[in-house]
Amino acid sequence: MIILGIDPGTATTGYGVIRSDLNGRITVLDFGVILTFPTMTAPDRLASIYDGMNLLIEKHTPDCLATERLFFSKNETTAISVGRAIGVVLLAAAKHNLPWIEYTPMQVKQAVTGTGAAHKPQMQKMVATLLGLPEIPKPDDAADALAIAICHMHSAKIMSYRDLAKKSTRG
């Protein structure tokens, strides 16, 4: 299973691509950021994110797109701006028939560190450890995207265990 984790934003969209094999081994295939610049118009920034997403999906042919559900307590202008970026990310998924799943920040923290109360440095260190990387992936948005991908991998594993348990109970 190949998972594409995305941490969307107008200026910086982090991505992380991981593969888990049948033995549960995780391999990092790719991580980084899609950058856009304030000198560009808003539509052109969105087009860059969309084009970058299409390239990533075509390169890695992931089985699933995972993102983090965002919460904004103060600034609805930021919410609209991040919402726009999410819009074109989800559109790229739809255009490739890629299933999409969303996790809360709490679920991502829990999956990566075992606790919903983890701080960012703990998260990043655990991402590096779980993926066998020699150092913390940079920039932060790429590490966040990898954390989201790890969260989905854990969640998918739990779901498949449940399916197996159901089958063995039935059998």
Nearer to a second copy, 93 or 150 (CB): 93
Catalytic (active site) residue 7: yes
Contact flag: residue 70 with a second copy (CB under 8 A): yes
Q: Binder to a second copy among 7, 18, 32, 50 (CB under 8 A)?
A: 50
Concatenating the DSSP letter of every residue in 22-59 gives: TT--EEEEEEEEEE--TTS-HHHHHHHHHHHHHHHHHH
Q: Are strands 12-20 and 64-68 parallel, antiparallel or unpaired?
A: unpaired
Which is nearest to 15 in space by CA: 73, 116, 93?
A: 93
Catalytic (active site) residue 68: yes
Site stretch for a second copy (CB under 8 A), options 80-88, 106-114, 127-135, 156-164:
80-88
Contact flag: residue 106 with a second copy (CB under 8 A): no
Site stretch for a second copy (CB under 8 A), options 16-24, 36-44, 128-136, 149-157:
36-44
Minimum distance from residue 68 beta carbon to a second copy (Å): 12
Please report, for residues 13, 30, 62, 71, 171, the alpha-carbon distance to residue 124 in angstroms, rounded to integers and kept in the order given. 17, 16, 23, 20, 42
SS3 of 14, please?
Answer: strand
The amino acid at 84: R
Catalytic (active site) residue 102: no
* Interface with a second copy (CB under 8 A): 41-44, 46-47, 50, 70-73, 76, 79-88, 90-91, 93-95, 98, 100
